[in-house]
Amino acid sequence: MAVEKDVRGARDAGDRLIAAHASGDPFAAAFKATRMPMIITDPRQVDNPIIFSNRAFSKLTGYSAQELVGRNCRLLQGPQTDPAAVAKIREAVSQERDLAIDILN
Protein backbone atom coordinates (compact mmCIF):
# COMPACT_ATOMS: atom_id res chain seq x y z
CA MET A 1 0.00 0.00 0.00
CA ALA A 2 1.45 3.41 -1.02
CA VAL A 3 0.40 5.28 2.13
CA GLU A 4 2.00 2.65 4.36
CA LYS A 5 5.21 2.88 2.31
CA ASP A 6 5.21 6.71 2.60
CA VAL A 7 4.75 6.56 6.38
CA ARG A 8 7.50 3.94 6.65
CA GLY A 9 9.85 6.18 4.64
CA ALA A 10 9.09 9.13 6.88
CA ARG A 11 9.61 7.03 10.00
CA ASP A 12 12.92 5.73 8.62
CA ALA A 13 14.11 9.30 8.02
CA GLY A 14 13.04 10.27 11.53
CA ASP A 15 14.85 7.23 12.93
CA ARG A 16 18.04 8.41 11.21
CA LEU A 17 17.69 11.78 12.97
CA ILE A 18 17.27 10.03 16.31
CA ALA A 19 20.32 7.86 15.57
CA ALA A 20 22.29 11.03 14.79
CA HIS A 21 21.33 12.34 18.22
CA ALA A 22 22.51 9.12 19.83
CA SER A 23 25.84 9.42 18.00
CA GLY A 24 26.43 12.89 19.45
CA ASP A 25 25.31 15.01 16.50
CA PRO A 26 24.89 18.49 18.05
CA PHE A 27 22.14 19.55 15.61
CA ALA A 28 20.00 16.52 16.39
CA ALA A 29 20.51 16.97 20.13
CA ALA A 30 19.63 20.68 19.99
CA PHE A 31 16.55 20.06 17.86
CA LYS A 32 15.24 17.44 20.23
CA ALA A 33 15.96 19.44 23.40
CA THR A 34 14.87 22.95 22.37
CA ARG A 35 11.77 24.49 23.89
CA MET A 36 10.98 25.98 20.46
CA PRO A 37 8.25 23.92 18.75
CA MET A 38 9.76 22.44 15.59
CA ILE A 39 9.14 19.78 12.99
CA ILE A 40 11.28 18.51 10.13
CA THR A 41 9.78 17.48 6.80
CA ASP A 42 11.35 15.70 3.84
CA PRO A 43 10.49 17.43 0.55
CA ARG A 44 12.27 14.64 -1.35
CA GLN A 45 9.51 12.21 -0.35
CA VAL A 46 6.03 12.14 -1.82
CA ASP A 47 3.82 14.86 -0.25
CA ASN A 48 6.66 16.28 1.90
CA PRO A 49 5.87 14.27 5.07
CA ILE A 50 6.83 15.22 8.59
CA ILE A 51 9.78 13.03 9.58
CA PHE A 52 10.40 14.32 13.10
CA SER A 53 8.58 16.37 15.70
CA ASN A 54 10.07 17.55 18.97
CA ARG A 55 8.31 17.47 22.34
CA ALA A 56 7.70 21.22 22.28
CA PHE A 57 5.72 20.87 19.02
CA SER A 58 3.64 18.07 20.51
CA LYS A 59 2.96 20.18 23.60
CA LEU A 60 1.88 23.14 21.44
CA THR A 61 -0.37 21.22 19.04
CA GLY A 62 -1.57 18.30 21.13
CA TYR A 63 -0.45 15.86 18.43
CA SER A 64 2.00 13.14 19.41
CA ALA A 65 5.03 12.50 17.23
CA GLN A 66 3.44 9.18 16.23
CA GLU A 67 0.35 11.03 14.96
CA LEU A 68 2.44 13.52 12.97
CA VAL A 69 5.20 11.45 11.37
CA GLY A 70 4.33 10.48 7.82
CA ARG A 71 1.69 13.18 7.39
CA ASN A 72 1.85 16.48 5.56
CA CYS A 73 1.67 19.73 7.55
CA ARG A 74 -1.72 20.45 5.95
CA LEU A 75 -3.32 18.58 8.84
CA LEU A 76 -2.60 21.67 10.94
CA GLN A 77 -4.41 24.11 8.63
CA GLY A 78 -7.78 25.48 9.59
CA PRO A 79 -10.37 27.85 8.16
CA GLN A 80 -8.38 30.93 9.22
CA THR A 81 -5.09 29.78 7.69
CA ASP A 82 -3.88 32.45 5.25
CA PRO A 83 -3.63 30.94 1.73
CA ALA A 84 -0.95 33.52 0.83
CA ALA A 85 1.25 32.29 3.69
CA VAL A 86 0.75 28.68 2.57
CA ALA A 87 1.73 29.69 -0.98
CA LYS A 88 4.94 31.33 0.32
CA ILE A 89 5.84 28.15 2.17
CA ARG A 90 5.21 25.97 -0.90
CA GLU A 91 7.30 28.31 -3.04
CA ALA A 92 10.20 28.25 -0.57
CA VAL A 93 10.12 24.44 -0.44
CA SER A 94 10.05 24.13 -4.24
CA GLN A 95 12.94 26.61 -4.56
CA GLU A 96 14.88 24.93 -1.74
CA ARG A 97 15.32 28.17 0.18
CA ASP A 98 14.92 29.17 3.81
CA LEU A 99 11.80 30.93 4.99
CA ALA A 100 10.76 32.31 8.36
CA ILE A 101 7.03 32.93 8.55
CA ASP A 102 4.29 33.08 11.15
CA ILE A 103 1.16 31.23 10.13
CA LEU A 104 -2.16 30.70 11.87
CA ASN A 105 -3.20 27.08 11.58
Amino acid residing at 3: V
* Full residue range of the structural domain in which residue 36 is found: 2-71
Does the pLDDT at position 49 exceed 70? yes
State the chain's mean pLDDT as an integer: 82
Do 60 and 38 contact (CB within 8 A), yes or no? Answer: no
Whole-model pTM over 0.75:
no
Does the pLDDT at position 23 exceed 80? no
In a domain, 27, yes or no: yes
Left if phi > 0, otherwise alpha if psi is -120 to 50, otherwise beta: which for 70? Answer: left
In a domain, 87, yes or no: no
Does the pLDDT at position 9 exceed 70? no
In a domain, 80, yes or no: no
In a domain, 32, yes or no: yes
The structural domain count of the chain equals: 1
In a domain, 50, yes or no: yes
In a domain, 96, yes or no: no
Amino acid residing at 17: L
In a domain, 62, yes or no: yes
Does the pLDDT at position 76 exceed 50? yes
Which residues share a beta bridge with 41?
50
Long-range contacts of 54-62 (CB under 8 A, 24+ apart): 61/37
